[in-house]
Amino acid sequence: MNGRLAPLKDIVAIVGVGETDYAKDYRGSGGQAVEKGVARYDSYTLASRALKRALDDAGLTKSDIDGLCTANLSGERASELWGLNPRWSGSGDAAQCIIEATMAINAGLCTTVALVYGNAQRSMDTAYGGARVTGGAITSYFYYAPWGMTSQGALYALFFQRHKLLYGTTEEQLGAIAVAFRKHAGLNPNAVMQKPLTITEYLNAPYIAEPLRLYDYCLINDGGVALIVRRADMARDLRQRPIMVSGFGWSEENVDATQLRPRLKSFYHGAHHEVAAQVYPMAGVTPNDVDVFATYDSFSVHLLASLEGFGFCKEGEGGAFVQGGRIELGGELPCNTSGGMLSESYMQSWNHQPELVRQLRGGLGSRQVAGAEVAQYVHDVAGKCKSLIYTKGA
């Protein structure tokens, strides 16, 4: 076991999860997709709904919360709206917030942390590419804008093109990812995209940034997600089975990031390997023990990189690995079982966490991974790689 991380194993548990109504909000009362830019919600309203549901799920109230992590929100404003005065606060993506909350609880700064995300990105017609993208915290997102490459889709198109050239990976193999995730979404009443998708439909869809097609891209929808993380010895006798945070890891590749070298030269496998060397020993498991897997999937190609980088298959063999039903429910390694960001909801890493928690709790009917005891999430965005391993609590 990783000596430095070992003391943090199983010291916190996820005790509550909550999400907004992705599908209902996306379609509105008329049943048709609400147009982008038609303001129906703000991010704080969505976050508030998710937090209320997470607290109800845990059987707790806001008076039990003494720590707060927010994403896409001002922690100060959120606390004011919700009547909270947390002893500790943080911010970041879902994996970062869980890791930081674990460390804060271990340090004695707090005992029960609400992790809350809200994003009215469809209502606000948020631009993730195009002429309106002029800056941001991640330089590689806009570095090449003067030459017309402004979107992450274009960057990941280059990523997959190199994978094709190096390993012979085919577009039909990549399509197996979108088809599998859509199958999973069809079993999830809260998923935005319910219509079945065939490989023929995938291949007939237009290129957005060749070689990536329409169904390789994530959704743009409004939503909110909340998680309640609590000190493990305080997690017993609550409404739900506690799901333990048993392992995590974190590594970044930033040198030459604006030149795209880590992304295109090695598919970020250097960071993958470093995180794998942290997360598996800390949790006391191996990739063979993982029952259900989820990865950040703003684009389908993320899954190829994470499966190869974390040793589920050899580098260059991701295309073959995802075929034949292996990543589908009932397969060897069910992946993104809610539908992920391609078909369930684009919540920038947050919607994967409630799905993994629910898989370990059990009771998901036709979407349930039988006997699931170990779940892994991989966050791989702009050179920042993190991973979480959840296990069933007692």
176 in a domain, yes or no?
A: no
The residues, ordered by sequence, that sit 6+ positions from 24 with a Cβ below 8 Å of its Cβ are: none
C-alpha distances out from residue 345 to 24, 55, 169, 338, 341, Å: 12, 21, 27, 9, 5
198 in a domain, yes or no?
A: no
Q: What average pLDDT is seen over the chain?
A: 93
CA 249 to chain centre: 15
Look up the pTM and report it.
Answer: 0.96
191 in a domain, yes or no?
A: no
Count of helix runs (H) and strand runs (E) in the chain = 13, 11
CA angle 83-89-95, nearest 5°?
Answer: 120
The total domain count for the chain is 1
**pLDDT at 134 exceeding the cut of 70:** no
* CATH code: domain of residue 239: 3.40.47.10
Residue 281 corresponds to which tokens in the numbers above?
């020993």
89 in a domain, yes or no?
A: yes
Cα gap 160→174, rounded to integer Å: 9
CA 147 to chain centre: 30
Q: Supply the range of the domain harboring residue 105.
A: 6-125+219-392
> Looking at this protein, which amino acid is placed at residue 124?
M
**Could you tell me what percent of the chain has a pLDDT over 90?**
81
Cα gap 353→225, rounded to integer Å: 9
Q: What is the pLDDT of residue 138?
A: 66
**pLDDT at 190 exceeding the cut of 80:** yes
Size (the chain), residues: 394
Comparing 294 with 255, the larger pLDDT belongs to 294
Q: How many CA atoms lie within 13 A of 189 on its CB side?
A: 4
Q: What is the pLDDT of residue 1?
A: 47
Mean pLDDT of 14-40: 88
309 in a domain, yes or no?
A: yes
Q: What is the pLDDT of residue 59?
A: 98
- Count of Cβ atoms closer than 10 Å to residue 114 Cβ: 33
267 in a domain, yes or no?
A: yes
Cα gap 352→292, rounded to integer Å: 11
Active site residues: 296, 346
Task: Transcribe 318-340 into DSSP letters.
Answer: HHHHTSTTTTSTTSSS-BSTT-H
Tell me which of 3-17, 31-45, 355-369 is least confident: 31-45
232 in a domain, yes or no?
A: yes
152 in a domain, yes or no?
A: no
End-to-end, the C-alpha distance of the chain in Å comes to: 21
Identify the band that residue 135 occupies on the pLDDT scale cut at 50, 70 and 90.
low
> Looking at this protein, which amino acid is placed at residue 167?
Y
Task: Transcribe 131-150 into DSSP letters.
Answer: TT----SSGGGTTTGGGT--
Cα gap 243→40, rounded to integer Å: 34
- Count of Cβ atoms closer than 10 Å to residue 135 Cβ: 9
Cα gap 345→352, rounded to integer Å: 9
Q: What is the pLDDT of residue 151?
A: 82
The string of pLDDT tens digits covering residues 369-390 is 999 999 999 998 878 899 999 9
Mean pLDDT of 321-332: 97
The string of pLDDT tens digits covering residues 198-250 is 999 999 999 999 999 999 999 999 999 999 999 999 999 899 999 999 999 99
Q: Tokens 């209502």, residue?
A: 123
Task: Transcribe 336-364 into DSSP letters.
Answer: STT-HHHHT---TTSTHHHHHHHHHH---
